[in-house]
Amino acid sequence: MDKYAEFLEKKTQLADMGGFEPKWMPDFLFDFQKHLTTWAIRRGRAAIFADCGLGKTPMQLVWAENIVRKTGKPVLILTPLAVSAQTLRESKKFDIDCQRSAGDVPAGARLLVTNYEKLHHFRPEDFGGAVCDESSAIKAFDGERRAEVTAFMRHLPYRLLCTATAAPNDYIELGTSSEALGEMGYMDMLGRFFVNDKNPCKSVRRWAANKTGWASLSAGGGRGNWGFKGHAENAFWKWVCSWALAVRKPSDLGFSDERYILPPLTETQHLVETRTVAEGFLFALPAVGLKEQREERRRTVEERCDKAASLVNHTGRPFVVWADLNDEGDYLESISPDAIQVSGKDSDDAKEEKLMQFADGKVRGLITKKKIGAWGLNFQHCAHSVQFPSHSYEQYYQSIRRFWRFGQQRPVQSDIVTTEGAQDTMANLQRKAKQADRMFDSLVAAMNRAQHIDRSRYQGSQIAIPPWLEA
């Protein structure tokens, strides 16, 4: 009978990750931050999907310090490039013992911070837990790097994932996050909650019947239309909420938004007339397919970059221009005298030095690719960015949120320079933005349904007890 009860418990797919009561909860955390941190410590292995500027760094530092006090072993904090420097600054501000490491574990160390690229220098047995900062980056790694992170985390009893963008690209991030936490593998998640239908007409009929959106996901090397199984949607979000909490503003958890009001964001599209057209055409038309889109981007580098530079060169204010191609970055650097470029050919140390120079206001402008500088960095001193559209909603979202984040004091201007040929790219980006909003709303709604939020305390999430059980 006990084995059958255990079998039924496993079938619920609700996480039970073996945490503990907090051993230290400092006053510098706001009420909603204490709530999230307490919940994560009690879970043991958890994910916090908190929007930009809500204080993920102090929360993960407090979580890590609690793990050190519980296990007597150090905690490793993994960050994107240059974010480690910001983590060290935050630790000093809050008087938490944290130091950078490239692979060694000094005697008496408590919190060690390093870049994802240096993970292979560490051994999991030396640590009591680990934090993946900006954990959405995990799914962007190649297969070998992603497997390395997952394997390292698998050996640790305590794990925390922190990111601002929960599931911005369909359901991929939720699957990779679950896998890193040791809850359920990505493919297992698909098999448990989703069904694949490669027949487009049949997919449309099912979507209309179930009122459930379909997602295009990569799985096992193939692609197809994935949708929730008949009655699996509520079960799926309930399962996610057993190991993750999502918050875009404190009121999502029942707390006041008084300190967290974002300034206005203005997004402006600039359509550039190209000097050349695709071979065989008399005038510009929307590019069809990735091959045509790539050709159009390379053919219009100078026109687009000239427009981008004209938007920032004469303002006298800090700015960032996000380049996608090496040719774009090099040309922008040549026509933007007040800017420095951070490129892929720079060493890691040089990249970090340049990024921090801009963050500290020592240079007015920054030119770099989103995959280099769009994750985790705080650029609230800057309120103006320019970029060229791509199909990656996550890169767009992260690039905007370097500036448009809680703590920003000025209205934020985001200029998007595009061409007639890139109109399909813009439409795809807008579609993904709407889809991401729906998914985050679903996660927040499921969280609120699954948990009783106590507005006056921050002692962690409590499950509401049915009246018949209290009797």
Tell me the per-residue pLDDT of 30-87, one tens digit each, with 9 for 90 and over. Answer: 999 999 999 999 999 999 988 888 999 999 999 999 999 999 999 999 998 778 888 9
Neighbours of 16 (CB within 10 A): 13
> Angle 172-181/186-193 helices, nearest 10 degrees?
120
Each as own residue / partner, the long-range contacts of residues 216-219 (CB below 8 Å, 24 or more positions apart, any chain) are 216/170, 217/170, 217/171, 217/172, 217/190, 218/172, 219/186, 219/187, 219/190
Name the nearest CA neighbour of 424 among 323, 291, 240: 291
Distance CA 379, CA 262 (A): 15
Q: In what order do the strands lie in the sheet with 129-133?
A: 98-100, 111-115, 75-79, 129-133, 158-163, 45-50, 244-247
Assign 222 a pLDDT band (cuts: 50, 70, 90). very low
Distance between start and end Cα atoms, the chain: 26
Q: 149 with 119: CB under 8 angstroms?
A: yes
* Alpha-carbon span 10 to 444, nearest angstrom: 24
| Average pLDDT for 170-194 | 82
Average pLDDT for 419-448: 77
Predicted local distance difference test score (pLDDT) of residue 18:
81
Question: For residue 216, is pLDDT > 70?
Answer: no
Sorted by sequence, the CB contacts under 8 Å of residue 438 that are 6+ apart come out as: 213
User: Which residues lie below 8 Å from residue 134, measured CB to CB, with a gap of 6+?
Assistant: 79, 80, 83, 162, 163, 164, 375, 376
pLDDT exceeds cutoff 80 at 104: yes
**Confidence band of 461 (pLDDT split at 50, 70, 90):** very low
Model confidence at 455, pLDDT cuts 50, 70, 90, reads very low
Q: 388 with 304: CB under 8 angstroms?
A: yes
For the cut 80, the answer to whether the pLDDT of residue 359 exceeds it is: yes
Query: Which has more pLDDT, 75 or 405?
Result: 75
Q: How far apart are CA 102 and CA 86, in angstroms?
A: 16
CA 159 from centroid of its chain's CA atoms = 17
> Measuring CA to CA, which residue among 310, 296, 284, 320 is closest to residue 401?
320
Let me know: does 249 contact 258? Beta carbons within 8 Å.
no
Of the ranges 25-39, 222-236, 289-303, 415-429, which is most confident? 25-39
State the Cα–Cα distance between residues 183 and 189, nearest whole angstrom.
10
- Percentage of the chain beyond pLDDT 90 is 44
Would the pLDDT of 210 be above 70? no
Lowest mean pLDDT across 8-17, 49-58, 107-116, 129-138: 8-17
Q: Choose the most confident range, by mean pLDDT, from 77-86, 169-178, 433-442.
A: 77-86
User: Locate tokens 């045509």: which residue?
Assistant: 292
Q: For residues 167-193, give the mean pLDDT.
A: 78
Q: Which segment, 29-33, 178-182, 285-289, 425-429, is predicted with the most confidence on average? A: 29-33
The DSSP result for 330-344, as a single string, is HHHHHH-TTEEEE-T
Please give the average per-residue pLDDT across 14-41, as a whole number: 89
Q: Which helix (H) or strand (E) holds 196?
A: strand 194-197
Q: What is the mean pLDDT of the chain?
A: 81
Could you tell me how many residues make up the chain?
Answer: 471
pTM: 0.78
pLDDT surpassing 90 at residue 407: no
CA angle (214, 216, 220) in 5-degree steps: 125
Structure letter (DSSP) for residue 452: B
- Give the phi and the psi of residue 455 in degrees, each rounded to 5: -75, -20
**Residues with Cβ < 8 Å from 103, sequence gap 6 or more?**
114, 118, 121, 122
Torsion of CA 189, 133, 131, 439, to 10 degrees: -30
d(CA 39, CA 50) in angstroms, rounded, equals: 14
Domains and CATH numbers, the chain: 2-183+243-258 (3.40.50.300), 265-430 (3.40.50.300)
